[in-house]
Structure 1
Amino acid sequence: MIEEHMKSEMLDTLQDARQTVVAKLDGLSEYDARRPLTLTGTNLLGLVKHLATWESRYLGEVFARPFPEPLPRWDDESLRGTDFWAAEHETRSEIVSLYQRVWAHADATIAELRLDSPGHVPWWPRPNVTLFDVLLHRVAETSQHAGHADILREQLSASASASVEPTPRHDQVLQAAKAWLT
């Protein structure tokens, strides 16, 4: 009983974070969806592609349930980091659709395995893991990237409109920060 409740809660949280990331693409031009917004080139569409790639690994290969479509190999040094941006031939709809297919595959893994089911993450210091360990990791990482997506989208929204005004809450936070610094 408790196991099903824990799986359900973690999966709901994961799904909320997944949907948050994808929703940040809504209303953006192709340019803005792909536009690098950090020194490392991070962009919104790249975050979606990255999450799709790694969720397929963690909730697929780690439990001997490989995702049935080809993806860049985690162990191919020449492809390292390419999951963080969309190539010219990759469309937004293709990447979002891939992520949604990965969700379905990952959700099936979660549904079919027990939380104490063993897996193997060769790139972790302690590679012998359980579904619980990996699911917790996926919730944390996807939620973290949802936060990144919030910030990236805020940068795009602010740059799209010269009339963006700080909110009253922004002013309160700014005043509190100034008071703390003095």
Structure 2
Amino acid sequence: MTSNELSTRELNERPSLTGERADLVETLAKQRHFLRFTTRDLTDEQARLRSTAGELCLGGLIKHVTKVERGWRDFILNGPSAMPDVTAMTDADWARRADEFRLLPEETLAGVLADYAEEARRTDELVTALPDLDAAWPLPKAPWFEPGVQWSARRVLLHIVAETAQHAGHADIIRESLDGAKSMG
């Protein structure tokens, strides 16, 4: 088995966390909490509302962060083949991707929050069981990545933290614009 592969057995044999891994899980948990907290006491309809000039809504942000976390976790395990080659995406692909930022009529806030909790659990398990945080893969093809650059599992996890924190900030602005509720302050 290579350093980038994990077996189910290894994922189930989780040692207690200390040091860097504990810091990663704790920091992710904190940022996830801030993101989820912005949706407290909202109806599905409120979670669908756009309250700023942008296209973002709270339910869509939760969906997007869930998909991002899943994609990067899969990248840690399987490399760039786990992610789409965005340079080959068609207009129809981009239109479907836009739905990732919306809470669609058949979706519920409770459902997307449950999906997010499950992805968070899986990522936390991976942080616990990953044999080597230095194991690296080349980044997938995308105009925003320099060709040939590799990211270690550690770098990917830091990216998930940053992405979650960034979107928690977006969510806080959207929520305050909806009804004046704030996450802090």
Pairwise same-fold verdict (TM > 0.5): yes
Q: Is the 8 A contact 2:35 2:167 kept in 1?
A: yes
Instruction: Report the 3-state secondary structure (helix = DSSP H, G, I; strand = E; otherwise coil) of the residue aligned with 1:49.
Output: helix
Q: Is the 8 A contact 2:50 2:174 kept in 1?
A: no
* Higher radius of gyration, 1 or 2: 1
Match of 2:107 among 69, 75, 90: 90
**Equivalence for 1:111:** 128
When residues 74 and 25 of structure 1 are mapped into structure 2, their CA distance, relative to the original with a 3 A threshold, is: farther
Kindly provide the CA deviation profile for residues 33-74 of structure 1, in whole angstroms up to 9, marking residues without a partner as x. 110123331011111000000000001234228xxxxxx967
Counterpart check, 1:81 vs 2:95: no
TM-score by length of structure 1 reads 0.74
**Equivalence for 1:17:** 31
Gaps of 5+ in 1: 66-71, 161-168, 170-182
Measure, in 1, the Cα distance between the counterparts of 2:55 and 2:78: 32
Measure, in 2, the Cα distance between the counterparts of 1:8 and 1:29: 34
Match of 2:164 among 120, 139, 142: 142
Gaps of 5+ in 2: 1-16
Measure, in 2, the Cα distance between the counterparts of 1:127 and 1:81: 27
Higher RCO by CA contacts (8 Å cutoff, separation 6 or greater): 2
Measure, in 1, the Cα distance between the counterparts of 2:119 and 2:111: 12
When residues 134 and 22 of structure 1 are mapped into structure 2, their CA distance, relative to the original with a 3 A threshold, is: same
Amino acid at match of 1:84: F
Instruction: Report the 3-state secondary structure (helix = DSSP H, G, I; strand = E; otherwise coil) of the residue aligned with 1:64.
Output: helix
Aligned residues: 153
Instruction: Report the 3-state secondary structure (helix = DSSP H, G, I; strand = E; otherwise coil) of the residue aligned with 1:80.
Output: helix
Amino acid at match of 1:149: A
TM-score by length of structure 2 reads 0.73
Question: RMSD over aligned Cα, in angstroms?
Answer: 2.6
Match of 1:61 among 75, 83, 103: 75
Q: Quote the sequence identity (%).
A: 28
Q: Is the 8 A contact 1:37 1:43 kept in 2?
A: yes
When residues 41 and 102 of structure 1 are mapped into structure 2, their CA distance, relative to the original with a 3 A threshold, is: same
